[in-house]
Amino acid sequence: MKSTVITTNGLRKVYRGRAAVEQLDLNIGQGEIYGFLGPNGAGKTTTIRMLLGLIQPTSGDIQIFGKELRKHKLQILRRVGSLVESPSYYGHLSAADNLEAIRRILDVPKARIAEVLDIVSLTGEEKRPVKGFSLGMKQRLGIAAALLGSPELLILDEPTNGLDPSGIQEIRSLIKRLPAEYGITVLVSSHLLSEIEQMADTVGIIRQGTMIYQDTIAHLQEQAAGELRLTVSEPEAALKLSSLSGCGGSLQESRIVLPRMSDARVALLVRELVENGHAVYRVEEHRQSLEQFFLQVIEGGIS
Amino acid sequence: MMWRALSADWLKIRGKGLWFLVFLGPLGLTAMQGLNFGLRYDYLKEQYQADLWGGLLSNVAGFVPIALYLGGTLVCSLIANVEHQMSSWKQLLALPVSRTAVYMAKLLLCLLLLVCSCLLLSAGTLALGLLLGFGIQAIPYADILRLGFASYAGALPIIALQLWLSVSSRNQTFPVAAGITLSLLSLFSMYLSEWMPLNWPVLAWEAESPWLFIASGLLLGLLMILPGAVHFARKDVD
């Protein structure tokens, strides 16, 4: 069993009477990329701000590296790197000076600046004022700043938001390298499932401030696997039959649609159909796209 | 920890117009008196015959309180704005540094810059007096130093308040408007009680017992840091 890096218990944040985050239990294991997924306004950023001690939870507790955040905030933050929402930078300063301003607070060796610039491939651009950077470069500078203190945990809030496809690709491959090469645990949030699907090992889906799904990506993909579609000679008659068998199918566009079932069950069903004189033209498994499944989850259609 | 934050702040204010402001205030005041004494040299020399240096100092001193208020307001706002501008508070405060240290570093930076201004004012006034030929023997060194710093001590409560306001709100319109309003009010509040902190910069220079107002300014200034720092340490950062 991997040790956990972040655990939250009944985390709750109320803004002006409205709960932005409600009963949130996060569980993030060491060395994994955890995708924190949810539509805009679901409470991702609020949660992340609470994890970084930027805002106070209304109730509930947060443990990072097995320590209470409230009591050991600075100790914990020393081991955490973060990038929250829109990039923060000092536009009038060069990239190197931006990092230097942070380095002075972290008190790490100067050589670290060149190292992190190299990791995010900004070497050669460090002398330019950051206000002239593209959004992608600013975002990479933000990641460089997050990496400056050699963190064990990296918290990235919407790191690919607003980037063009090549920028997204760059950030994504950068994030995927981190656990493997540096042993960093990554929490990355996004409102795009495809993003998370391509990066994360584990996914937590949040809707209206509540965690509605938390498991591995592989398990999510499995669950998203959809339905069985049968094309037969006389669908209506066949439906009666299979309904009688207790599968609970329905008729859609003269095809029989059945929920997912085991292989043995499918075999049984087909044999029954054939034995009853139906011609079976097609047996298809229709896999719902993960995107559709995600929407279904978000809209509250999944238990 | 505060020194590390201060050293970072020192870097961040580069090219933000703060140093320009620090020089502009005292040099502007000196230049203004240069003009005043230059144009009416004979008249003023006759009027201040008994104490030429004293005359110069009292002319400069008339503008020091409002310059301190306006300068303090702008310095606080510019310092806070360095972080507000690109919403850097969230990045800064997610670093392993206590909020109190961050706040105190900002305050200290602001105070240091104003110290520079006060020193420049003394230097500028000294240079002006010599230029006007008021004589080397009679230079009142202590008064020249006191010129900026006495009023500075008296202005501390308002400066601490301004930093709190500027740091608290992202939009700098209100803090700056409040600062300017207070500066203008300070011109008229002399008719009110001596115990109005707004008057202390003036009284710290010219009252019969200036030390009382200097001490009050320092004390209330220190007290004003407290609510600002506590509020900053507790507030949610967006």
Residue-wise pLDDT for B17-71, tens only, equals 899 999 999 999 999 999 999 999 999 989 998 889 999 999 999 999 999 999 9
* Pair of tokens at residue B93: 């405060």
Q: Which amino acid belongs to residue A10?
A: G
Closest Cβ opposite residue A90 in set B12, B90, B97 = B12
Is residue B2 within 8 angstroms of chain A, CB to CB?
A: no
Ramachandran region, residue A37 (left: φ > 0; alpha: ψ -120 to 50; beta: rest): beta
Is residue A25 within 8 angstroms of chain B, CB to CB?
A: no
Is residue B208 within 8 angstroms of chain A, CB to CB?
A: no
Q: Indicate the range of A258-262, B101-105, B167-171, B202-206 predicted with least confidence.
A: A258-262
pLDDT for the residue numbered A264? 84
Residue A79: is its pLDDT beyond 90?
yes
To the nearest 5 percent, what fractions of chain A are helix, strand and coil? 40, 30, 35
Confidence at A225, pLDDT banded by 50, 70, 90:
low
Instruction: Write down the architecture of domain A4-222 according to CATH.
Output: 3-Layer(aba) Sandwich (3.40)
Q: Indicate the range of A74-78, B78-82, B177-181, B190-194 predicted with least confidence.
A: B190-194
Nearest-angstrom CA–CA distance, B133 and B52: 9
Q: ipTM exceeding 0.85?
A: yes
Q: How large is the average pLDDT for residues A171-199?
A: 89
Indicate yes or no: CB of B237 within 8 angstroms of CB of A55: yes
Q: How large is the average pLDDT for residues A130-156?
A: 92
Residue A301: is its pLDDT beyond 70?
no
Residue A303: is its pLDDT beyond 60?
no
Distance between terminal CA atoms of chain A? 27
Q: Which amino acid belongs to residue A6?
A: I
Is residue A149 within 8 angstroms of chain B, CB to CB?
A: yes
List every span in chain A annotated with CATH 3.30.70: 227-286
Residue A248: is its pLDDT beyond 90?
no
Residue B230: is its pLDDT beyond 90?
yes
Q: Tell me what percent of the residues of chain A surpass a pLDDT of 70.
A: 94
Q: How high is the mean pLDDT of chain A?
A: 87
Q: Which amino acid belongs to residue B128?
A: L
Q: Which residue has the higher pLDDT, B196 or B124?
A: B124
Instruction: Please name every residue paired with A18 in a beta bridge, in sequence order, or none if there are none.
Output: A15
Phi, psi dihedrals of residue A43, rounded to the nearest 5°: 115, 10
Is A205:A214 a contact under the CB 8 Å cutoff? yes
Residue B190: is its pLDDT beyond 90?
no
Q: Estimate to the nearest angstrom the gap between the alpha carbon of A234 and the chain centroid.
A: 45
Question: How far apart are the CA of A78 and the nearest CA of chain B, in angstroms?
Answer: 5
Show Cβ contacts of residue B41 under 8 Å, excluding neighbours closer than 6 positions.
B132
Residue A185: is its pLDDT beyond 50?
yes
Closest Cβ opposite residue B97 in set A83, A88, A105 = A105
Q: Tell me what percent of the residues of chain A surpass a pLDDT of 90.
A: 44
Confidence at B224, pLDDT banded by 50, 70, 90:
very high
| Mutate: best of A62, A105, A150, A187, partner B, most B CBs <10 A | A105
pLDDT for the residue numbered A252? 79
| Helix pair angle (B18-39, B64-85), 10° resolution | 160
- Tell whether the torsion through CA atoms of A26, A27, A30 and A34 is positive or negative: negative
List every span in chain A annotated with CATH 3.40.50.300: 4-222
Q: How large is the average pLDDT for residues A130-146?
A: 91
Q: Which residue has the higher pLDDT, A259 or B148?
A: B148
pLDDT for the residue numbered B216? 94
| Opening angle at CA A178, ends A176 and A183, nearest 5 | 130
Q: How large is the average pLDDT for residues A30-45?
A: 90
Is A239:A249 a contact under the CB 8 Å cutoff? yes
Tokens 């001596």 appear where? B194
* Pair of tokens at residue B58: 């009292």
Confidence at A66, pLDDT banded by 50, 70, 90:
very high
Chain segment B96-110, per-residue pLDDT in tens: 999 999 999 999 999
pLDDT for the residue numbered A272? 85
Nearest-angstrom CA–CA distance, A177 and A186: 10
Instruction: Write down the architecture of domain A227-286 according to CATH.
Output: 2-Layer Sandwich (3.30)
- Measuring CA to CA, which residue among B154, B151, B135, B133 is closest to residue B143? B151
Ramachandran region, residue A262 (left: φ > 0; alpha: ψ -120 to 50; beta: rest): beta
Residue A1: is its pLDDT beyond 60?
no
Which residue of A lies nearest to B7 if distances are taken between CA atoms? A104
Is residue A20 within 8 angstroms of chain B, CB to CB?
A: no
Question: DSSP secondary-structure letter at A247?
Answer: -
State the DSSP H helix or E strand holding residue A174, giving kind and residue range, or none if neither.
helix A165-182
Is residue A71 within 8 angstroms of chain B, CB to CB?
A: no
